[in-house]
Amino acid sequence: MKEGQQKTFFDVQKKIADPIARAARGYRGAFNLIARDDPDTIVVISLWEDEAALSSSYQEIFGAATSDLEKNLAEPPEVKNFWVQSGEFIIQPRAR
């Protein structure tokens, strides 16, 4: 990420990429991770029902937002595909 462009990146993601992803078949959600020691390093993890859902939606989602998102990047993004071996989420109730 270019220095100081984090807010702009997330604004573009929220306005362009997120609505397209939410409407896509098989989209299950996403996480944005920000490095504690470097706020200009971000990892975006998107979750998909299966490989076919990711493949069929990839160009639509990322094609629509890529040029706007990449303006904020210091270098081209590294894209990797993983499968989830296991996972657990514990959601704590908010204190009132």
In order of their start, the domains of the chain are 6-70 (3.30.70.100)
Helices and strands in the chain: count of H runs, count of E runs: 3, 2
Q: Is the pLDDT at 61 greater than 90, yes or no?
A: no
- Give yes or no for a contact between 63 and 39, defined as CB atoms under 8 angstroms apart: no
Mean of pLDDT values over 57-65: 73
pLDDT at position 32 is 92
Q: CA nearest 40: which of 87, 75, 80? A: 75
What pTM did the predictor assign? 0.75
Round the average pLDDT of the chain to a whole number and report it: 85
For 13-33, letters b (16+ CB in 10 Å) and e give: beebbbebbeebeebeeeeee
Q: Is the pLDDT at 37 greater than 90, yes or no?
A: yes
Q: Is the pLDDT at 50 greater than 80, yes or no?
A: yes
pLDDT at position 27 is 92
